[in-house]
Structure 1
Amino acid sequence: MELISSAERNLLFARYKHDAFHLELRDDYSVPGEETPFRNWLRGRDVDHSYLAPWTQLVRQCTARGMTIRRVRVITEPVTPYIQWEHALTSLNVEAGEDIRWLPRHLLPQTITLPFGGNDWWLFDDQLLAIGHFDSVGRVLGSQVVLAPDTVAACVALRNELWTAAIPHTDYKP
């Protein structure tokens, strides 16, 4: 299986035309650039959010072109400290133009089977999937690109079902 880097995956945003959707399924992410801000937040200190600038700039560029960027975060309740922190920061994503919803795991429709071993994925224009792969301690290894029409169609249907079931960010309180 060939994996592309996070930087290569982010280049896909320049190619898509209408919609990018991200399904997040982890309750904690080991992202090196977030370790210090997360620790500071846990200690009640001021947090420098500059590490988010590349992402929020990308979102602004895409939405300025009329594209949508949407995300559903499937989370376990009670939420982990990481999810509490992520929820507190989500307003920065929303201000940049991203539409984010939350779906407590216990509210997942029982008919749903999560594909790809429960890994996160991006769906671009209902045509291309970028499936995230992680190591045993949760660090991102890269993304697998999938173009198989049947697989993509199944993820489009799943996205639609989860989007409908999920709670808009402004309405979800962890």
Structure 2
Amino acid sequence: MRLLPDEGFPDLLRSCKREAFHLEVLDSYAEPYEHEPLRRFLAGEPDDYAWFQSWTELVQETTGRGVAVTRVRIVTEPHTDYTRFALAIAELNIRAGEDIRYLPRHLAGEDVPPDDFWLIDDELVIFSAFGQGGGSSGAVTTDPHIAEYCNQLKQRFWSLSTPYTEYHRQ
């Protein structure tokens, strides 16, 4: 495994040829760039989402090349403030071209990994470890056994999850 700095992720996504799958397992992320948008959301204040534009542009660029960008969020119910925030901005992800699905934690089973990961073209795995104070670090591997394990999790959680439009209506 090798470490991946945050700024290296866009290049990995740009190298993707078929599918970039993201599994999210945490109920809250303390990302510094989200502190103010989360505060505004909780206060019911408007947001121009300029802070999110680089992500939506990267997704549009990726899906524009014919690459699927998919995501399963395993969430605790009732939702945390952060999950409510993520649900509110998921519409921006969807418009950019992502396919996001939700899986209530109590339906996910006992094999939910402790960390998020990206699975690129079913071959490259990027694990994300988040600190309590925010920020993340990533570890990248092409180990076929790890990639197969992550692919099995992807298939299982995807089949159990509910598309955003249906989940958000509930």
5+ residue gaps, structure 2, are none
Aligned pair count reads: 169
Structural mapping, 1:161-172, within 5 Å: 161-172=156-167
Q: In the alignment, what sits opposite 1:96?
A: 96
User: 1:140 Cα shift?
Assistant: 2.7
Identical residues among aligned pairs (%): 38
CA distance in 1, matches of 2:25, 2:133: 12
- Deviation for aligned residue 1:2: 4.2
After TM superposition, the score normalised by the length of structure 2 is 0.94
Query: Over aligned residues, Cα RMSD in angstroms?
Result: 1.4
TM-score, normalising length: structure 1: 0.92
Deviation readout 1:95-146 (Å, 9 max, x if unpaired):
00000000000011x3x5234xx100000000000000122x1523311001
Question: What are the superposed Cα offsets for residues 45-98 of structure 1, whole Å, 9 maximum, x if unpaired?
Answer: 111201110000000001110000000000111100110011011010000000
The residue that corresponds to 1:47 in the other structure is 47
Contact 1:21 1:122 in 2 (8 A): yes
- Counterpart pick for 2:117 among 114, 118, 121: 121
* Alpha carbons 1:132, 1:140 under 8 Å: kept: no
Whole-angstrom CA distance in 1 between matches of 2:22 and 2:133: 17
Hey, what's the Cα distance between the residues in 1 that align with 2:111 and 2:118?
17
AA matched with 1:91: E
Distance 1:139 1:121 in 2: 17
Q: Report what 2:153 is aligned to.
A: 158
Tell me the amino acid that sits aligned with residue 52 of structure 1.
F
Letter matched to residue 111 of structure 2: T
